[in-house]
């Protein structure tokens, strides 16, 4: 066997080993192996090595080493290779800044759809949606499925971006590009954002015809989307078609029932989940507590909250506490709710205090209303609703001087009530 053949076989073997290290998360071993390959005079590294190494540099937070890999790729005239260029763009975007990644992108001799997609995706992940859209408009090659996927996913994260995301989906279809699993998963939140139930059904039908629908992640997404758009029957049907139901699927159905006030149904699904021996997580319990909250099931909320922490070792977040406080407040157990707030292991939010303040008006509890109101004035000093609500509580018990004082305090702080408006 010739020396070239021997070197090639050795390079192939080392590349396989490097791939194995990266896939297993053994990034230190991967970087050590790359150093051995890099310093071996008989080995000419091929382009497929560099994306692997850069992935390890990113995962192990080694920006300097990544920069040296960039230098090595430049000396080897590999920047024109799309695999190497895209890996470098991703590396700089994650380890340094989007601006450095953009500088590298602008220096690439020949850009194809893959490099454009990488740059657009980096902008959307970083929250620079306008820059991503500008890049999309300036593309000098035809966009691919991955390009549209990046734009659609980014727009769903932007307030008011749901309609635009759906528009890009329609544009994608007109170009003859076939939406894939990533497209549909990115699009479902946009459908929920504008309550587009008909489009959810369209996506469901397309996924079924394209044999994408059996994917567990998509089915969980459909359960959540149907549920949040009010179609509990469809949500349940999709759930029942799932052969294997993970925690996401169970949690999605529980949240769907909770959202629409079907508390007993939500709690029954949780019971079935426990029978199926699927371990609940923080999202599961958030759905369960919301169900208790909406139905005013105070005792049940306390029981589930206690089990969540002690039995399932799930740490309570501010949202969990808010649901518990809301459940207790709706049931008229205002001082129990206040006790929960005082004993919280995290800082109370406006949502937590707001639940107590709202219930204080219902039950005419002025003393706690003052405490909750003052806490809210600190957290969100410009929210006029808190001042108005406390003023109404004072007025409801005949304490008109304090109600007027609230209005004066609003004026002194420059807090203004937003004028009413109508869509008609």
Number of H-type helices and E-type strands within the chain: 24, 0
Confidence of residue 406 (pLDDT cuts 50, 70, 90): confident
Higher pLDDT, residue 87 or 280: 280
pLDDT at 1: 47
Tell which wins on pLDDT, 366 or 9: 366
Write the pLDDT tens digit of every residue in 76-132: 777 777 788 888 888 887 776 788 888 888 877 778 888 888 889 888 888 889 999
What confidence score (pLDDT) does residue 59 get? 86
DSSP conformation class of 7: H
Q: What are phi and psi of 140, to 5 degrees?
A: -105, 15
pLDDT at residue 2 tops 60: no
CA distances from 377 to 62, 343, 346, 361, 410 (A): 45, 21, 19, 17, 10
Distance separating alpha carbons of residues 270 and 44, to the nearest angstrom: 58
∠ CA 349-355-358 to the nearest 5 degrees? 135
- Mean of per-residue pLDDT scores for the chain: 88
List of long-range contacts for 101-106, beta carbons under 8 Å, 24+ apart: 104/70
Structure tokens at 164: 């635009």
Residue 373 contacts by C-beta under 8 Å, 6 or more apart in sequence?
A: 357, 386, 387, 389, 390
Q: What is the average pLDDT across 8-25?
A: 84
Written as one string, the DSSP assignment of 216-250 is HHHHHHHHHHHHHTT-HHHHHHHHHH-SS--HHHH
Question: How far is Cα 166 from Cα 182, in angstroms, rounded to an integer?
Answer: 14
On the question of pLDDT at 353 being above 60, the answer is yes
Q: Are 169 and 143 in contact (CB under 8 A)?
A: no
Mean pLDDT (whole number) for 52-56: 87
Spatial CA neighbour of 30 closest among 63, 4, 59: 59
Of the candidates 390, 389, 369, 382, the one whose C-alpha atom is nearest the C-alpha of residue 414 is 382
Q: What is the mean pLDDT of residues 40-56?
A: 80
When comparing pLDDT for 127 and 173, which is higher? 173
Residue matched to tokens 């003023």? 391
DSSP conformational letter for 278: P
* pLDDT tops 80 at residue 423: no
Domain spans of the chain?
1-86
- Please state the rounded mean pLDDT for residues 247-252: 94
Q: Is 328:336 a contact under the CB 8 Å cutoff? A: yes
State the pTM of this model: 0.77
Report, as an integer, the average pLDDT of 203-230: 92
């Amino acid at each position: 066997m010739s020396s070239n053949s021997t070197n090639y076989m050795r390079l192939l073997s080392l590349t396989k080993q490097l791939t194995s290290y990266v896939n297993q998360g053994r990034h230190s071993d991967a970087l050590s192996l790359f150093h051995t390959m890099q310093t071996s005079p008989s080995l000419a590294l091929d382009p497929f090595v560099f994306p692997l190494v850069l992935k390890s540099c990113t995962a192990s937070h080694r920006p300097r080493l990544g920069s040296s890999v960039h230098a090595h790729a430049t000396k080897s005239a590999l920047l024109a290779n799309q695999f190497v260029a895209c890996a470098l763009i991703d590396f700089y975007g994650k380890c340094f800044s989007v601006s450095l990644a953009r500088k590298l992108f602008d220096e690439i001799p020949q850009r194809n759809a893959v490099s454009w997609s990488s740059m657009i995706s980096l902008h959307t992940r970083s929250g620079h949606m306008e820059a991503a859209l500008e890049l999309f408009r300036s593309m000098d090659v035809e966009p691919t499925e991955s390009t549209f996927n990046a734009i659609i996913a980014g727009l769903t994260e932007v307030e008011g971006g749901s309609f635009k995301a759906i528009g890009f989906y329609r544009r994608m279809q007109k170009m003859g590009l076939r939406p894939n699993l990533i497209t549909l998963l990115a699009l479902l939140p946009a459908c929920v954002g504008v309550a587009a139930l008909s489009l959810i059904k369209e996506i469901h039908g397309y996924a079924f015809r394209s044999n994408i629908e059996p994917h567990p992640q998509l089915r969980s997404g459909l359960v959540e989307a149907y549920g949040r758009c009010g179609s509990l029957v469809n949500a349940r049907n999709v759930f029942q078609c799932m052969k294997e139901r993970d925690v996401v699927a169970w949690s999605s159905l529980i949240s769907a029932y909770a959202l629409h006030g079907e508390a007993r149904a939500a709690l029954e699904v949780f019971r079935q989940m426990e029978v199926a021996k699927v371990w609940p997580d923080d999202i599961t319990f958030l759905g369960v507590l919301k169900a208790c909250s909406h139905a005013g099931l105070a005792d049940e909320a306390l029981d589930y909250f206690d089990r969540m922490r002690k039995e399932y070792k799930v740490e309570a977040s501010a949202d969990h506490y808010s649901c518990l406080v809301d459940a207790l407040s709706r049931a008229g157990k205002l001082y129990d709710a206040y006790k929960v707030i005082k004993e919280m292991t995290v800082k109370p939010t406006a949502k937590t205090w707001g639940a107590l303040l709202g219930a204080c008006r219902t039950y005419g509890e002025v003393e706690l209303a003052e405490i909750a109101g003052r806490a809210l004035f600190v957290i969100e000093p410009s929210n006029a609703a808190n001042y108005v609500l406390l003023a109404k509580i004072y007025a409801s018990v005949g304490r008109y001087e304090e109600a007027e004082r609230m209005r004066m305090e609003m004026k002194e702080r420059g807090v203004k009530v937003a004028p009413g408006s109508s869509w008609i």
